[in-house]
Structure 1
């Protein structure tokens, strides 16, 4: 009997120990693999399914949940050097019945890489329009959400294809002429004055640089273990040349102020969400949009930086839903189409 008990104990211990040891080994030796598993698990938990849309040799990767219904579909555009999974923290707090699509921006993650023209703001707008048509999202007006670079693209998209847009949410959007310069812009100006094209804070190459980037983008100070910082760097390093190419394209003259130059063409109801402590693109941009579009609804978040989606996901989801519901309550051509 004692031997049977001992055998059962050893079997039970082995069953528990193997996953634990595998986790510890992944954490210490392969943190980048652990990060990928983390996103996979989170997508699965939230019911987001990864799909692909092929358009004449060009492939979009996106995640989707739900089907078109009473509420407008929501298309979410991420920022520079991130990917569709950055929206998971917000999706968690959105109603499960909503039709939500999060697409990898041109060249990012699972979406095709082609040439630099696709990475300009207008080039990205053309590609996102191609995606919208390929998944037939344009059949009914949809709500478009974009953050940072994605906010620049979203705003120009709404200006270019106004009939497709039910409403627009811009979160800390790039692409404006800001009354005040941010810490990040001042750093870029110093690099330019020194004739240096490397050392861009949004393209880290070491764990220390990754930690500095997180501090730049977030007001909330997250304590990130060194292994995770290394994993985040390992995931990004193979793509840093691409990120450099994209960055140089979106700061060119024809892209840098693209949203500013097109904002007067936006006709859809617009909501702006901005962290007051944003060090990447200055919060003074909110007043620029509010003055240009008097009906614009502005929400400034205290103790929040550029990474609004990560720092205030519940608040962001609530603001987006409240805005959509309020717009559906207005007797407008858009709301009639969705009734």
Structure 2
């Protein structure tokens, strides 16, 4: 009994020490808490972090499952200023036997970028094309899914490399100039150009308030500080340069929509304030490929985070509908 008592005391002491450390980090180094939960979500999603050399550049990505001849692999492309782990919540609602890859785009997360890199959509798509070839995603059917900037890139990729894309899903893609300006672009016109590159807690709070319809998902101020310290400050200069390039290519996807041949799914949050929902009308007008449009109620810009289960359900419905048709043909 004395041995058991000693073990219990040791375990209890370890738990208290861990809790004390967690509390200390929360207030002194909140970026560590952000990093911890990022790794925890990767584990919960059943993904493995991998690295691959593409020319002189190292890419980081998450992978789960194995390639299959019966269903397309899924390539996930995150949005501006985000990372590969941003899809983890949604991945948890996808079948475990579905082969998927979530990439860190150049200059994001753990993927490097060359100094003075070409930030045109064609150059980034070519870079992505190299990555796809190196890891062998071009050896079988491929479903490309992007969010926001990653969604605009996914659409451009499908147009520029139509033979490699079997299915395409775009959630709130950039690169389309709608008839109605969104709240973000109104603020940009008013002089708040780098609204999506927050450098302070207050700026991060404003950004999340615009991006999220569900305000309960906005992190507390201490975690917002961790977010700014971990995600933003190390990359501020690059993110501003990239955002300038995005603004210069504001309508880059529109003329390419007619070149997309893969069955395409477009997902939009009803309460989107970053990219106006009227972009859907442009897509419907310009696209000739089979098109499925899904509007999610009570959702803002960050579809994979706000409604991960609903988004996963819609994606699987789209895959079942069009992948089966392709298999029959």
Same fold (TM over 0.5): yes
Contact kept in structure 2, 1:141 and 1:163, CA below 8 Å: no
Secondary structure in 2 matching 1:51: strand
What's the counterpart of residue 136 of structure 1? 136
Tell me what 2:64 maps to: 65
* 1:265-288, Cα deviation, whole Å (9 max, x unpaired): 001000000011111100000111
Partner deviation per Cα, 1:265-322 (whole Å, 9 max, x = no partner): 0010000000111111000001111122253110111111111111110011111111
Measure, in 2, the Cα distance between the counterparts of 1:161 and 1:316.
25
Please tell me the root mean square deviation across aligned C-alpha atoms, in Å.
1.9
Secondary structure at the counterpart of residue 215 of structure 2:
coil
Asked whether the 8 Å contact 1:116–1:245 carries over to 2, the reply is no
- CA–CA distance in 2 between the matches of 1:135 and 1:5? 51
Which residue number in structure 1 is paired with residue 20 of structure 2? 21
| Contact 1:169-1:271 within 8 A present in 2 as well | yes
Residue 308 of structure 2 is matched in structure 1 by: 313
Any stretches of 5+ residues in structure 2 without a counterpart?
none
> Which shows bigger deviation, 223-232 or 108-117?
108-117
8 Å contact 2:71–2:141 — kept in the other structure? no
Separation in 2, partners of 1:319, 1:115? 39
- How many angstroms apart in 2 are the aligned matches of 1:4 and 1:292? 74
Q: Distance in 2 between matches of 1:304 and 1:238?
A: 30
8 Å CA contact retained: 2:184, 2:273:
yes
SS at match of 1:209: helix
TM-score, normalisation: structure 1: 0.91
CA 272–116 in structure 1, closer or farther in 2 if over 3 Å, else same: farther
TM-score normalised by L of structure 2: 0.94
Give me the whole-angstrom Cα distance separating, in 1, the residues matched to 2:219 and 2:139. 43
In structure 2, C-alpha distance between the alignment counterparts of 1:4 and 1:169, rounded to whole Å: 58
Distance 1:14 1:271, change over 3 A: same
| C-alpha separation in 2, matches of 1:74 and 1:249 | 27
Q: How does 1:1-339 map to 2 (within 5 A)?
A: 10-69=9-68, 70-191=70-191, 200-222=194-216, 223-235=218-230, 236-252=232-248, 255-293=249-287, 295-330=290-325, 332=326, 335=327
Q: CA-to-partner distance for each residue in 1:170-203, whole Å, 9 max, x for gaps? A: 0000101202110111111222xxxxxx751101
1:302 and 1:249 map into 2 onto residues whose CA distance is 31
The structural deviation recorded for 1:45 is: 2.3
C-alpha distance in 2, partners of 1:138/1:12?
Answer: 50
Q: Structure 1 unaligned segments of length 5 or more: list them.
A: 192-197
Aligned residues: 325
